[in-house]
Structures are given as C-alpha cells and as structure tokens.
Structure 1
Amino acid sequence: MTLTERLSMSELWQQFFFHLRAKRRSKATLTYYGCTQRIFGRFLVSAGLPQEARALTTAHLRAFMRSLEAGGLAPGGVHGHARAIRALFNWAHREELLAANPVQRLELPTLARVRLPTVNVELTKRLLAVSKTQGQPLRDAAMILTLFDTGVRVQELASLRTEDLLFERGLVRVMGKGHKERFVPIGGRAMQAVSAYLRRERAAAHAGVQHVFLGRGGLGLTKSGVTLRLLRLGECLELPRSACSPHTFRRGFAVEFLRNGGDVFTLQQIMGHANLEMTRRYVTFLDDDLKAAHLRFSPADRL
C-alpha cells in the first residue's frame, strides 16, 4: 500500500493547512476550515466511517451534510461546511494525493437568495448626525465616511496606517485578502473628515502607533472594535444589528457606485474581488433603478 493509500483524513487536513499557509491565507480562513475539520472528524467517528481519505465516497459526504441538517444547522451553515469539504478534496485531487475525487458529484445545497441590508445615503446622514453626540465624534464620522465612500472591508479599515493615506493622489492603500495590495479612490468629503480627525482628535499612545483609527487608549482599533462602534451608533438610532454592520457599508458603497453610473469592471477593482461574478451580485440591489428603466423602455407601454 502506497503512502497516499494510507493517507488519513487527519494527515490530509494537515497537508491542506500547509498549502493554505503557503498561500498566505488569512487567520479567518484557517479558522473556517478548522471548524469543518473538527465537525467532519467527529462525524466520521460517530458514524463508524473509514478514517482513510481514499476510502471516503460521495455517499459518505452526502451523509455528513444530512447529519448537519438533522442537527438543526441552518442552510447557510451546511453550505459553508460543504464548500470547505469541496475545497479540501478538489485540492487533494489536483495534487494527486487522491486518485478519485468524491466531491465531483457532490451537490451543494440550494440557498434562498435573501436580500441583505445596505447602508444608503439617508442612513449615512443619520449616522453622521448621531456620531456628533459620541465621545470621539471626529473619529466616528471619519470611519463612517471612509467605509461608505471606499467600500473597504472592516479589516482593511482597521489596518489602515497613516502612511497609507495618499490624499495628494486621492487614494488609500489597503492590504486585502491574500495579502493583495490595492489602491482605492477616496472622495473629498471623506478625506476632509479623516484629516480633521488626524489633526484635532487622534491621540496615539506613543510614537510607534501608526494606525489611523484609534481607541480611547490610543492604540489601533481592531476589527471587532470598529464593528462595535458601528453597532453602538446604530443602537442610538434604534436600528437592528444587521442594519449597521461593517459589510452593510460595503454593500451600500457598491450599490451607490453602480447607481451613480459606475461600471462593474471598475467596481471589481475597487472592491478587490477575485472575479467579476462576485461583483455582479450587487446589480440585484438596484430594484428602483430597474423599475425606472422599465418605465422608460416598457415594450407594452410603447405599443
């Protein structure tokens, strides 16, 4: 029996994690796959299934997904674990660690297309107004406008350093997923808000602190720190948590960019999407614009 034939699931996961680290995948990505590894491992033991990777079949993987559904996991959670399993076995097959690929015929569960909330212009104005009542009003206003005007991810915002503010060029430099650097345009109002915060309110704990957005202690805000500030501002307006999360700003930027005449190809570059299909999803948010276009070009009305 060859080494690949004796390869256990534990060893296969270990090699997959080596691959992910070599590709410099984020800590969140590693945590995501680690969660599936633990749950899938417990399933194999409880179901008395083989521990050798080559012995697992499509039927075994379908049984795993059914067990998740029977355990009450939401469809989105089942879909997430299924994607992780697909990524693992597709990689193993490409690397010739497995002769057969059990996920080749594994269907992902169908997810309902639920419209997620977005931040719009009116809500942004309300958040800016309430930020004036907070302990660090200039910082909060600068964060709100930067998120809404650039569409950066929350981790990208939290990681911004003063050297990344290329305001003379109207850009900010961000480090995206996979440690991919990109330059994102930023408008005049957002730049003014950030500049006012830097001049009048930002107080670093020491000279070595280079992060743009700081907490009360003078150290850089973390990803969770930014999220908490946005949620607190939303609570002041009695908004649900889902209405003021960092990603609602990202979605809001994309929708407003398209609504104001931007094209999906430019939007893809700004948002740092790996493929255009990810960007095209935001077109579905333009219901009012599609209705207006139909009013102008309705075939029946033109009879």
Structure 2
Amino acid sequence: MTTEQLWEQFFYNLRVQRRSQATLSFYQVTRQKLAGYLTLEGYPQEVPGLTIQHLRSFVMWLEAQGLNPGGQHAHVRAVKALFNWSCREELITVNPATRLALPPLPRLRLPTVTSSETQRLLTTAKTWDQPLRDAAIIMMLFDTGLRVSELVKLTRQDLLAAQGLLRVRGGKGEKDRTVPIGTRTLTALGAYQRRERRPRWPHVEELLLSHRGEPLTRSGVGIRLARLSVASEMPRELTAPHAFRRGFAVEFLRNGGDVFTLQQIMGHASLDMTRRYVSFLDEDLKSAHLRFSPGDRL
C-alpha cells in the first residue's frame, strides 16, 4: 500500500470522527510535504519499502529548508500519527515511524496577556466605534479561556446568564462543554446586547456581530485585537487570541484554582496539556518556596 492510499483512509477516519477543518489542514500540509520529498529523492512510495532512514532524512530536509523546530515537530507528529493509526488498523504490518524521534523544542515562554494589559485594552476600546462589543470580546477571552473558534460560534442561547455559564458547542474534537463566566463579563455582554448588538437579519443568532450586523469571524476578532494593540502601544503577540487563553489559565491558577478544574474549563483532552501553564508561574513558585522551603525549616 502506498503512502497516498494510507493518507486517503486516514483522512476518511478523521472526517468520520468529525475532526475540525483546522486539524484536516494540519495533516494535509504534512501529506504534501512528505509526498513531494519522496518524489524528489526517488524514495519508495510503497510502505513496505519505506524505512526509518527515509523518514529521518525527511526531517533533516525540513530543517535544511529553513523550517523552525516547531514546524519540524508538527510534521513529525503528523507522520507518526499516520503510521501509528495505519498499524493499529492493520493496514501495514511494520510501522516505519516507531523509532522516529520528535525534534526537541526550545523551552520558550509564550506570550501571555496580564490583568493590567487587559485593562489597557478595555480603556482603548472605550473610544472606538463598537466599544461595548469590543469590551465583551476582551472580557470573554480573558475571563473564560475560550478558543477564538469557540468564541465566534456562541449564540444568544448559549449564554446561560442565570446559571453564570456559557454553553460551548463543537470545541476542539467536536466536544461540547459548559464554561463558568464572571459577573463583570456578564455585565459587559448584557450592555452589548441591549445597546449595540444590531443583527442585519432577524434569524442571526450568533452572539458577536460585525459592524454590518453579520456574525463575527475568527479573522475579524484577530484583526480587531491587532488594531487595539497598536492603539494601546502593546506588542501584537500579547493580544493574539491565544495569549488571552494562556492569560486566563495563569490567572486562574494564580488565584487559587486547581489544574483539574482548569482542564475541564479549557476543554483539554489530557491533564498534561493543562500542567504546562504551571511553568508560567515562576514568581508564584518562588514565593511558595520562600514560605515552605524544606531547607529553611531544618
């Protein structure tokens, strides 16, 4: 069986599992890169002839093309996912990616928005053409940790104000969940809905709308935050939607929340994903050590 045939069946399985378009696009890029490399080098397209050496040379080729470690890591994850699945489904008898190592990633501190930076953005938003909508976006991102794709899908029916909850539909992996929301954010949403939300058509149920009264898109949120960051004289990376998601996680833990609850709120499939946010709490860990140091208590 050729790698292309494996990819076809793998993609069919992903669609059956209702994986997101972003996930399909992620694997499609690797599919094209790997196929192009195998053709370029004249390496076997049949899986029995494809070895670990071929896959390792593919990774080296990616590096030589100038791809950063994060990009290399992503392609290797996709290759391993393809062959691991194919082996489990007994489409192949030997997995050429079993010993394919993931390239090491540099331990960089990813941009994370803080409370003071969120307040600066809210102050700037007050002077803009849709101040209530923009304030609602900023507060929701910082107060709930929603992914931007989840944010723009919210409808008015998903806001359960009496219970202090948001119903998040079709999150990552098409999993639904409920997310708590604070009173200040509820107040911001209420003000936006009463005074500024003007749908272009009666059937528009999405909660957040553009200035034309149409459902706001992911790119629309990103562009708005980028402009707000410039007006607030803040680095763009600090106001990217995912920087708010990290900021929510850090503040939640800093304020006494536990990783198990955080996992449920953020919709992480595993606790390992949630634990990564502990690394953002250097000063808090230092303070805790000063209070509880075993050495100082000898």
Q: Same fold (TM over 0.5)?
A: yes
Shift of 1:272: 0.3
Give the Cα–Cα distance (whole angstroms) in 1 for the partners of residues 27 and 269 of structure 2.
Answer: 20
Partner of 2:229: 234
Partner of 2:142: 148
What amino acid is the match of 1:67?
W
Which of the numbers 268, 272, 276 marks the counterpart of 2:267? 272
Give the Cα–Cα distance (whole angstroms) in 1 for the partners of residues 159 and 294 of structure 2.
Answer: 49
Shift of 1:258: 0.5
Give the Cα–Cα distance (whole angstroms) in 2 for the partners of residues 235 and 162 of structure 1.
Answer: 30
Shift of 1:238: 1.9
Q: Deviations over 1:11-31 (max 9, x none)?
A: 111111000000000001111
Identity of aligned residues (%): 59
Report the 3-state secondary structure (helix = DSSP H, G, I; strand = E; otherwise coil) of the residue aligned with 1:100. Answer: coil
Shift of 1:230: 1.0
Partner of 1:171: 165
Partner of 1:252: 247
Partner of 2:185: 190
Matched, 1:132 2:126: yes
What amino acid is the match of 2:291?
R
Q: Deviations over 1:123-161 (max 9, x none)?
A: 111111000011100000001001111001000001110
Partner of 2:256: 261
Correspondences of 1:3-82 after superposition (within 5 Å): 7-82=1-76
Shift of 1:297: 2.1
Matched, 1:84 2:78: yes
What amino acid is the match of 1:297?
F
Report the 3-state secondary structure (helix = DSSP H, G, I; strand = E; otherwise coil) of the residue aligned with 1:183. Answer: strand
Which of the numbers 69, 88, 94 marks the counterpart of 1:94? 88
What amino acid is the match of 2:42?
G
Report the 3-state secondary structure (helix = DSSP H, G, I; strand = E; otherwise coil) of the residue aligned with 2:123. Answer: helix
Q: Give me the TM-score of the superposition, normalised by structure 1.
A: 0.96
Structure 1: 5+ residue runs without aligned partners?
1-6
| 151-160 or 229-238, which deviates more | 229-238
Give the Cα–Cα distance (whole angstroms) in 2 for the partners of residues 183 and 37 of structure 1.
Answer: 35
Give the Cα–Cα distance (whole angstroms) in 1 for the partners of residues 293 and 5 of structure 2.
Answer: 60
Q: Deviations over 1:74-99 (max 9, x none)?
A: 11111110000000000000000010
What amino acid is the match of 1:14?
E
Give the Cα–Cα distance (whole angstroms) in 1 for the partners of residues 227 and 259 of structure 2.
Answer: 32
Matched positions, count? 297
What amino acid is the match of 2:215?
G
Partner of 2:200: 205
Q: Deviations over 1:1-48 (max 9, x none)?
A: xxxxxx111111111100000000000111111011111100000010
Report the 3-state secondary structure (helix = DSSP H, G, I; strand = E; otherwise coil) of the residue aligned with 1:193. Answer: helix
Shift of 1:232: 1.0
Give the Cα–Cα distance (whole angstroms) in 2 for the partners of residues 252 and 278 of structure 1.
Answer: 15
What amino acid is the match of 1:288?
E
Give the Cα–Cα distance (whole angstroms) in 1 for the partners of residues 48 and 122 of structure 2.
Answer: 57
Report the 3-state secondary structure (helix = DSSP H, G, I; strand = E; otherwise coil) of the residue aligned with 2:257. Answer: coil
Structure 1 residue runs of 4 or more that deviate by more than 3 Å after TM superposition? 299-303
Give the Cα–Cα distance (whole angstroms) in 1 for the partners of residues 179 and 6 of structure 2.
Answer: 38
Give the Cα–Cα distance (whole angstroms) in 2 for the partners of residues 84 and 238 of structure 1.
Answer: 38
User: What is the CA RMSD across the aligned residues, in angstroms?
Assistant: 0.9
Structure 2: 5+ residue runs without aligned partners?
none
| 236-245 or 108-117, which deviates more | 236-245
